Amino acid sequence: MSEAFNIMVDVARQENVTRILDCAERLFRHYGYGKTNVADIARELGMSPANIYRFFASKVEIHQAVCGRMLGASYKMAYEIMHLPISAEERLRRYIHAQYKMTLETMLDEQKVHEMVIVALERDWAVIDKHVNSIHDLFAEVIREGVESGEFRDQDPETSSRCFGAATIILCHPQMVAQCLAKTNRAMPDELIDYAIRALK
């Protein structure tokens, strides 16, 4: 009985957390992160601010969780591409193109979302470092397979994954993408990806 009750409590808690995050993300996207506060989220949900604070200690903590969900979607896309039954080179190429497209469409075209992401980047949250490490792990896995298949030269996959990430970050980092869009003296995406892949070979 006690175990069943605990499960019901956990489910109810998760449902409330999801409702709060869904609402917060909707308001952040519509009004902007800076113009949305916990009272706005509570009002939209028909709750009191005190009820929100039962689940999140602050607006910053809500923001962290929302960004964590966005990064989760980005990782899911990366994982699926990195496990396609195609060459290691093509998997890396497809992922960088897909992440660049996601950055343009989700983080730049929707200005309010861009604001939310920039705030997270400026705070250097652990959730972002964790995401970067997860992407580097995927790079290392693909590079290791590329070495074993003879596509890439013999090299340390972990070191190469970090270097590949650094070489292509300009296509994945929202601030860098935004700054380079209007520049004519920057490498084009295909040129940069080709250059980074040639280094692996």
State the CATH number of the domain containing residue 48: 1.10.10.60
On whether both 147 and 190 belong to a single domain, the answer is: yes
Please give the average per-residue pLDDT across 3-30, as a whole number. Answer: 77
Report the pLDDT value the prediction gives residue 180, as an integer from 0 to 100: 66
pTM recorded for the entire structure: 0.79
Please give the average per-residue pLDDT across 109-114, as a whole number. Answer: 59
Phi, psi (rounded to 5 degrees) for 45: -90, -5
Report the pLDDT value the prediction gives residue 87, as an integer from 0 to 100: 97
Quick: pLDDT tens for 57-96.
999 899 888 888 888 888 999 999 999 999 999 999 999 9
Q: In whole angstroms, give the CA distance from residue 122 to residue 134.
A: 20
What the block records as the tokens of 63 is 């923001």
End-of-domain residue from the set 39, 56, 73: 56
On whether both 52 and 125 belong to a single domain, the answer is: no
Nearest Cα neighbor of 170 from 145, 155, 157, 187 is 187
Buried b (16+ CB within 10 A) or exposed e, 46-72: ebeeeebeebbeebeebbbbbbbebbe
On whether both 30 and 10 belong to a single domain, the answer is: yes
Report the pLDDT value the prediction gives residue 37, as an integer from 0 to 100: 93
On whether both 120 and 80 belong to a single domain, the answer is: yes
On whether both 160 and 185 belong to a single domain, the answer is: yes
Please give the average per-residue pLDDT across 122-131, as a whole number. Answer: 77
- Residue listed under structure tokens 């995406």: 189
Confidence check: pLDDT of 5 > 50: no
The mean pLDDT of the chain is: 86
What the block records as the tokens of 64 is 């962290």
Phi, psi (rounded to 5 degrees) for 21: -70, -40
Please give the average per-residue pLDDT across 138-162, as a whole number. Answer: 97
Domain count, the chain: 2
The answer to whether 54 and 41 are in contact (CB under 8 A) is no
Q: Best-predicted range by mean pLDDT among 72-76, 82-86, 106-110, 115-119?
A: 82-86
Residue range(s) defining the domain that contains residue 89: 65-200
CATH number of the domain that residue 173 is part of: 1.10.357.10
Q: In whole angstroms, give the CA distance from residue 140 to residue 41.
A: 41
Q: How far is CA 20 from CA 5, 24, 73, 109, in A?
A: 23, 6, 18, 24
On whether both 9 and 97 belong to a single domain, the answer is: no
Confidence check: pLDDT of 122 > 50: yes
On whether both 192 and 94 belong to a single domain, the answer is: yes
Report the pLDDT value the prediction gives residue 158, as an integer from 0 to 100: 97
